[in-house]
Structure 1
Amino acid sequence: MIKLIAGLPEHVIGFELSGKVSAEDYEKVLMPAVDAATAGGQKIGLLYHITPEFEKYEFEAMWDDAKVGFRHLASWKKIAVVTDVDWIRWSVKSFGFAMPGQVRVFDQAGLAAAREWLAE
């Protein structure tokens, strides 16, 4: 499941991922929110909080994640990924260099620090 995070600064959009994340979650929640936030052409911050309740991505969801990233490649100012899931932390650290803007990984205890970093 993907839920939009409320209460973030205007230039930051955030999502909370938990349980099983499906392509439908991306198509109904994440993609429309990202499209709306980037419609004016401004660079935005992205908070991607993968909660301890996260179980897995469906294959189609991982594909949708890649499509969103590439479709909005020039839109990202900062990306903060908050997770304790080792394979996701490793993936972001390994491939984050390919994303424009700054990419940082935070553990669950660093959620507040991630929000502060994005708000700067």
Structure 2
Amino acid sequence: MIEEIENAPAGVLGFRAVGEVTASDYETVLDPAIDRTLETHDRVNLVIVLGERFERYSLGAVWQDTLLSGKPHRVWGRCALVTGHSMIAEIIHSLAFLFPGDLRFFALGQEDAALAWAAGETAPDAS
């Protein structure tokens, strides 16, 4: 499931993956939040946390994730991935050149730094 991070700064969407993330999570939580943001902002700044309670992405969720890249390149601002899952970080890092926004990686425990960076408040501590 995808849970919204309630203390995200203005202009930043923050989400935490818990357990298994499915296509339904994208359709009911992530996609509508992105669409609502684009109604009032030119860009989406996003923080995704894959912490200790995250287990896996379903195949449908992986497909929904690829569909996000179908949004116009101009809508993606700063996107931060906070994770301690080295395999996931390595895979996403190797594909980062495909991502149209500014993508940074943060270690677990740096969620606040990731949120601040996505909001444009600080320089990145990690990459």
Would you call these one fold, judging by a TM-score over 0.5? yes
Structure with greater helix share of residues: 1
Cα distance in 1 for partners of 2:72, 2:81 equals 17
Residue identity over aligned pairs, in percent, reads 33
Per mean C-alpha deviation after superposition, the further-off stretch among 48-57 and 2-11 is 2-11
Where structure 2 has 5 or more consecutive residues not aligned to the other structure, the ranges are: 121-127
Instruction: Count the aligned residue pairs.
Output: 120
Which amino acid counterpart does residue 3 of structure 1 have in structure 2?
Answer: E
Cα-to-partner distance string for 1:51-105 (whole Å, 9 max, x where unaligned) = 2111111100110011123225321111100011122101221111222221101
**Correspondence 1:65-80 to 2 at 5 A:** 65-80=65-80
Aligned-partner SS, 1:65: helix
Relative to the length of structure 2, the TM-score reads 0.86
Q: 1 CA distance for matches of 2:71 and 2:101?
A: 15
* TM value normalised by structure 1: 0.91
Counterpart of 2:18 in 1: which secondary structure?
strand
- Partners of 2:33 and 2:72 lie apart in 1 by 12
Displacement after TM superposition at 1:107 (Å) = 1.0
Report which stretch shifted further, 24-33 or 4-13: 4-13
User: Which runs of 5 or more residues in structure 1 are unaligned?
Assistant: none
